[in-house]
Structure 1
Amino acid sequence: MESVEISLKKGKLTFLWLALMGGIIFMGWWFLTSGQEANVSGLRLFHIAMGTLLLLIAATILPFGLRLVSKTPGLIIDKNGLTDHSATWQNGFVAWSDIKAIEVAQPEQTAMMFIVLFDPEKYLQSRTKIRRVLASTGDRFGYPSAFGIVVGNLNIEFDELVKVVEQYWGDYHQRSNVSRNSTEEVSV
């Protein structure tokens, strides 16, 4: 079987990123230029500090926009596993042999696919501390796994994605003669 590459929906994300960057840069420029006529040195210092802070925030957000022009697919599914690049906090590669179950949910009109792993700590250890903390927040919301794929970011219908993942996961288990749990729907 060949691999399936699913691209990201870039239109809405690009618009949001451009609007955010434009707003932050405009506010930073406004703070830097409007503080010049202030007679109070504290107010002038505040304007300069706020302008500089906003421009630093814009520089921090810049890499997220660079992802929008990247040719990397949002999700790659092949005979070895799946590689998720669909969100800011990417899951990366997950081997079929490490997947215990795949659960689907649609909380608040957002279709999500959760990858339940035999040993999630193995994957969490390879992440930065901030990414580990963010991944663990799913427990508080009742998500079945810290590894979720938001289907709304991908150029594929939810049902079609479930079908493709089920097919590849099933093929892996047939090749390896290992039993597997079925994909089940969960309420979140």
Structure 2
Amino acid sequence: MSEFDRPHRPIRRPDLAALAGAAAEVEPFARAELAAATAAAVITHGRSGQGDSLVDLADRVGLDTLAELWRQEQPSSLPGALWALYLLRRWCQSNGDEVTRLWRAGRHYAPVDEVVAGVSEAADPAAIEALADAVLHGAYVGDFAVALERAAAFFRVIATGRRETAEPGRDGDRERSLAERNEETADGLTMTAQTWRQNPL
């Protein structure tokens, strides 16, 4: 049985905060099970057409709540992938200028990923934020695997931008390390997209 097979019931938004509080008190295996169950419930509810859009879920329940539930999971898992999408949205909202700088520095060196991600030609902070919203919106009302692949492509362009702009020294080393993390996230999202295509909820 894959993680996408396990049964689940709808989870109301207030329940997520309570579950997040409980997550810190359970063993790692049970925490992973809780993360998988809540992620499956969220994605199923969001894709059912019932209730409000979950694009702004992190705004409603708090990013810290989602972090407690999903942050420790790998992007190659459903909860880890959802966490990456919500974190991407918050990053684009709060650090639009930095993300834009990295995107512009990397996009010409990763033309395929640039096309897959689908940032508008303007590539300004508003376009970057719109991309993050569109990816999450697509996760709930479109093809979930495509949404994950768009996010993966975005992370790869950002990783390229980090390497292209990294200076020698400690700060440059930090950027190169972050680039590796961005690529690991991209690889994990791609794996989750493949799993979803084989066995969607």
Q: TM-score, normalised by structure 2?
A: 0.22
The structure with more helix, counted as a fraction of residues? 2
Q: TM-score, normalised by structure 1?
A: 0.23
